Chains A and B, each alone.
Chain A
């Protein structure tokens, strides 16, 4: 950014344009891309982002896990806007690597406490009546988990990037369960994946019948392989681990199965040594994505604070933003759709004079839940519960615009 542009930025805070010292070389002479033909319409049969966006990618934190196959990558939230996560940037959590399944060989089985155990092909699922389109966030239970003990990772990609929000196309799980005929004594459904982790979770039948989906498309196209191609489970508002990918089996039973992912993992150890289990819902949460450590402020004057909010308990009703570490709050502007259990975008247009800021956001949902501070959460849970950290994030913006993950008290 040249000095002229910086001056123009500062000047515009007062509503007036500043005269340039001379002609902008990006205007005079005519740019190369205006004089020469560009690539043809099918140079990229499946289009990619601009080469100038090459840094906007998923990232991994090597020290977090013992293997790349049971690990996680993070959505680059700092560079995204709106509410829909591009398919190729949706964070990935595998427990046994990415299964590559031939859709012709895909099978889904329903059995257990049902009248008719059934096997479906992918074509069967695509021929089912009552297809729906729904946007939901999928947040890993461990999102922000590395921050329980204090500020650790420097960027919202790493502190909050185990989340994505896409439009799913599929059929209600209820449709399939009704076809099989659930026994009145059935209370739980075991969902299982076909990958090398053979991931299993026990889901209450009530939730399965209420709003879960068997999805085969995301954002209008087939599921990405890393998101469970050809079929995954959608469990709105609930922790991402339950959204079983490469879904191959649904078993109805009268009690939970106490599988590894609901005993050893995805249980929440409290300070007194006891542990919560079946903590399914993801509570209301938000984060300012810009400014943030990977998206520092560049210019004084007008700036747009941008962020996301979501709640597994319903629809985001309001987001408040603080510039002084939580002493004073301003209600932000929610822009675009605010749908239940889906990512919601908020903005605060503000003027920055170069002063130090302690930026926070605080989400409220229509159940009346208000996003707590990390200190409030720790007072109830201690620091070893790993999962479900929805505490308020603070970004320290310095006078030069550099931004850091901090905690305040």
Chain B
């Protein structure tokens, strides 16, 4: 269909560059730059450790960034960059886009490379003398990447599509097996002040 005339204008290259900061797994979008694990450690301690802990172990309820390998099938999985995230590009993109929480988009490209290098090191994925750069970034692979697959509900849960669900005498005796009041973690009924 023909474009509507008179609405909008052409985006200028410098305008696109200002907002176009996303990075893909194939490395598209990575800026020029590099950063070492050692520099990343300094930056992490200054900018990140208050919430995420000195070693990415997380403070209080703030997210854990390292560890957790081998826990995904356990009762309490620990989903970190090393144990769960599929792509290192997401770490770079997200740190530059939205961290530090409350001081967003304050890190340079080199800062971000360094912090990502430190996070990879905390997750035992690169050595202490590693330097991450635009050139070697696409070579970085995270261990859990092969374990993601596209939504398969329409086949795996095909049994949920049915024409005539049971209407009478459907189950045996029904008993209460769990009660929310036992936990008692619901906020009080009083409205917020």
Contact = CB atoms under 8 A, between A and B. Distances in A.
Given A128-B4, A380-B156, A320 B180 contact: no
B68 to A, nearest CB: 12
Nearest to B94: A260
Contacts of A405: 179-181
B90 A259 contact: yes
Contacts of A376: 159-160
B77 A111 contact: no
Interface residues of A, number: 98
A187 interface: no
Given A117-B16, A264-B84, A409-B177, A258 B25 contact: yes
Contacts of B55: none
A16 interface: no
Contacts of A80: none
Given A257-B22, A264-B85, A151 B192 contact: no
Given A59-B187, A263-B85, A369 B160 contact: yes
A55 interface: yes
B177 A367 contact: no
B129 interface: no
Contacts of A96: 98, 101, 104
Interface string A36-70: 00000000000000000011010111110111011
Contact of B8 (A118, A155, A325): A118
A269 B77 contact: yes
Interface stretch (B31-39, B116-124, B164-172): B164-172
A407 interface: yes
Given A274-B147, A275-B147, A328-B168, A264 B79 contact: yes
Contact of A327 (B51, B149, B174, B192): B174
Sorting the interface of chain B by its residue count into under 10, 10 to 19, 20 to 34 or 35 or more gives 35 or more
Contacts of A276: 148-153
A289 B60 CA distance: 34
A392 to B, nearest CB: 11
Contacts of A200: 22, 97
Given A118-B11, A328-B167, A370-B160, A67 B101 contact: yes
A6 interface: no
A358 interface: yes
A337 to B, nearest CB: 24
The SS class assigned to the A binding surface is loop
A320 B98 CA distance: 45
Interface in B102-125: 102, 104-105
A117 B11 contact: yes
Contact of B187 (A62, A178, A251, A257): A62
A208 to B, nearest CB: 15
B46 interface: no
A401 to B, nearest CB: 15
B61 interface: yes
A190 B22 contact: yes
B73 A329 contact: no
A128 B6 CA distance: 10
Nearest to A153: B186
Sort A-B residue pairs by CB-CB distance and give the 8 closest, nearest first.
Answer: A325-B174, A405-B180, A117-B11, A66-B61, A407-B178, A150-B178, A273-B72, A260-B94
30 contacts: A59-B192, A60-B187, A60-B192, A67-B101, A96-B101, A96-B104, A109-B15, A152-B185, A153-B185, A179-B8, A198-B97, A255-B24, A258-B25, A258-B86, A258-B90, A260-B97, A263-B85, A267-B148, A273-B147, A277-B149, A278-B150, A283-B153, A326-B171, A327-B169, A327-B170, A362-B165, A371-B160, A404-B180, A408-B176, A409-B175
Given A175-B4, A328-B167, 16 more contacts: A60-B192, A96-B104, A109-B11, A119-B9, A119-B15, A178-B1, A197-B98, A200-B22, A260-B90, A269-B72, A273-B73, A329-B165, A370-B161, A376-B159, A384-B77, A407-B178
Interface of B: 1, 3-4, 7-11, 15-16, 19-20, 22-26, 51, 60-63, 72-73, 77, 79, 81, 84-87, 89-90, 93-94, 97-98, 101-102, 104-105, 147-153, 156-157, 159-163, 165-171, 174-181, 183, 185-187, 189-192
